[in-house]
Amino acid sequence: MKKLFFLAAFAVFGLSTMNAQDSDNGSSALSEGSWLIEANTGFGASDFGHTANTGFGLVSIDDTTIWSIGAEAGYFVMDDLAVKLGLGYNDFDGASSFSYKLGAKYYIESMIPVQLDVTGASGDDVFGDETPLWLGLQGGYAWFVADNISIEPGLRYNLSLNEDFTDEGILEFRIGFALHF
């Protein structure tokens, strides 16, 4: 019985030490004063519905092609909390728009990112008199492949804030690639 107790205590101590070391490796990239540069890809119903994209995308359906390019940057105002800004360019079969995003991203336990933001777009040829605007909520997992590089798969929901443009919410699967400085 003593051997079993000793083995269990050793296993718990070993796992907690490994967890602390993993947390230390990732948390320096997420510490106050650090920077974040991120690019995202999106898959899902948003391909034609979400016209404000600050990531990478390409969709072609029924002779209509939509592509987008963009990136986001953030500054950690405290450990695990970054204030972010994103910019993007979108092309809708010849008509173009510019996108913007402003929000905050928090890493729970330095590995589970959750983000809340407002995303909008402008482009006369695409939207007419309307201005699309969404409230976005995103969550996922940060896999640090190096001390300053993370891959962050997750889910995002975009709630329309402009019912004149659209009243539909959009759910998408995203894969983010982030550099931490």
Whole-angstrom distance, CA of residue 72 vs CA of residue 67? 17
Percent of the chain with pLDDT over 70: 73
In this prediction, residue 24 carries a pLDDT of 46
Helices (H) and strands (E) in the chain, counts: 3, 10
pLDDT over 50 at 159, yes or no: yes
In this prediction, residue 1 carries a pLDDT of 42
In this prediction, residue 13 carries a pLDDT of 42
- Kindly report, residue by residue over 2-11, the tens digit of the pLDDT: 444 444 444 4
Q: How big is the chain by its Cα radius of gyration, in Å?
A: 20
Domain containing 144: what range? 2-180
Count of domains observed in the chain: 1
- Kindly report, residue by residue over 161-176, the tens digit of the pLDDT: 887 666 678 888 999 9
In this prediction, residue 7 carries a pLDDT of 43
In this prediction, residue 103 carries a pLDDT of 97
Q: Residue 28 has what DSSP assignment?
A: G
Instruction: Report the CATH number that the domain containing residue 23 is assigned in CATH.
Output: 2.40.160.20
pLDDT over 70 at 68, yes or no: yes
Q: What is the pTM assigned to this prediction?
A: 0.77
The alpha carbon dihedral of 32, 16, 22, 137 has a sign of negative
Whole-angstrom distance, CA of residue 141 vs CA of residue 150? 9
CB-based contact 123:140 (threshold 8 Å): no
Strands 170-180 and 149-160 come out as antiparallel
When mean pLDDT is compared over 13-17, 87-91, 93-97, the highest value belongs to 87-91
pLDDT over 50 at 12, yes or no: no
- Kindly report, residue by residue over 32-45, the tens digit of the pLDDT: 999 999 999 876 55
